[in-house]
Amino acid sequence: MAAPPLLEVRDLSKRFATRAGRDPSSWVIQGLSFAVSDGEFLTIIGPSGSGKTTLLNMLAQIDTASGGEVRFQSEAAPIDDPKGLNPGLSCKIGYVTQEDNLLPWRTTLQNVLFPLMVQRRLNDETRERAQMLIRAVGLAGFENHYPHELSGGMKKRASLIRTLVYDPPVILMDEPFGALDAQTRAQLQDDLLRLWSLGRKTIIFVTHDIAEAIALGDRTLVLSRPPASIAGEHNNPIPRPRDIAGIMTHPEFAALYQSIRAQVQ
């Protein structure tokens, strides 16, 4: 018997209130349902403006939903009342946003240590982990640099390991590699998979790049245009460990790509 899903989304809906107050604005997300198992790497694809970020914001509990529910470990999260929001669900859900959101007044190392400090978990062991992650993504030597001294790619990496350092069971990622050049992106995808394979966290990775979704994910969901719901679900048969650089030459790639592409309208 299959274990209950770690994260479950049922009939999720979201509509933004307009300033006027009473006029109904259009639904961004409506009737969205899916589930994620523990240790799964799920990728979500959707066209621009399909509410991908909105969805992640709701999952991360920084935004309310207009309807439906989100269940984490079979417990419903309170997402209808702004007052009841619990961002990050008590550090169970990590969120790597599109902007790096590094604190400009902290060095790289200080930024990476920030969540540990805030969670009162800062000790030798966690510091060592932070250092290890910094080395793992190639930021060694830049620990004492300020964000404005780092390149875009480096800031992205810092932002990534900042979430990885405190080891949340679920990690949301919002097009983290979107703004980077192809080479850096490939490198970071590689780094991500490597780090993920060490800990097998549950990852929900949003992207607009089909090739990236196939390269990284165990399963790919396709979002429809607004009002967005799940247009399709594609299991990814390509075995791990994966070769990112050569993913496109894999025999299963083309068919998967085509079927996903057909649904992304």
Partner 1 sequence: MATWEEAQSGQARARQARLGTSLRARADQALVLVVLLAIWQGLSFAFGTYWVGSPWGVATRFFGGILNGEIPRHASYTLLEAVAGFLIGAIPAAALPFALRRLPIVTAILDPFLVGGYGAPKLALAPLFILWFGIGIESKIALVAITVFFIVYFSALAGIRALDARLVQMAQVMGAQEHDVARHIVFPGAVPYIFTGLRIAMPYSIGGAVIAELISANRGLGYLIQLSAMNFDTTGVFVALAATTCIVFAGNWIVNVVERRLLRWRPPPDFDLQAGS
Partner 2 sequence: MTSQEAALDLREASRLRWRQYAVTAGRIGLVALLLGAWKLGADIAGPLYAADPLEVLERIVADTLSGSLLHHIYVTLRLSAIGFAIGCACGVALPFLLRRLPRLTIAVEPYIMASVGVPKYALVPLFILWFGIDDAPKLWLVGLLVFYPVFIAVFAGIRNVDRRLIAMARVVGASEAAISREVIWNSLLPFFLAALKIALPRAVSAAIIGEFLVGNEGLGYMIESSRNNFDTTGVFTGIVVATALVLVINTALVRIDRRLNAWRPTDRHMGL
Q: How far is the CB of 147 from partner 2 (least distance, A)?
A: 22
Q: Name the strand (E) or helix (H) holding 202.
A: strand 202-207
Rule CB under 8 A: say whether 227 interacts with partner 2.
no
Report 4-23 residues binding partner 2 (CB under 8 A): 15, 17, 21-22
Contact track, partner 1, 166-205, x by CB under 8 A: x------------xxx------------------------
d(CA 95, CA 99): 11
Rule CB under 8 A: say whether 35 interacts with partner 1.
no
Under rule CB under 8 A, how many of the chain's residues touch partner 1?
34
CA 58 from centre of chain: 12
Which residue of 47, 136, 146, 225 would you call a contact of partner 1, by CB under 8 A? Answer: 146
For residue 194, give the amino acid letter. R
3-state class (DSSP) for residue 163: helix
Rule CB under 8 A: say whether 24 interacts with partner 2.
yes
φ/ψ of 23, rounded to 5, equals -65, 130
Say if CB 44 and CB 205 are below 8 A apart. Answer: yes
DSSP single-letter state for residue 239: P
Q: Which does 119 bind (CB under 5 to 8 A by kind): partner 2, partner 1, none?
A: partner 1
Which alpha helices (DSSP H) does 19-150 contain, by range?
A: 52-59, 108-118, 124-136
Q: Which does 259 bind (CB under 5 to 8 A by kind): partner 1, partner 2, none?
A: none
Q: Which residues bind to partner 2, rule: CB under 8 A?
A: 15, 17, 21-22, 24, 66-67, 80, 82
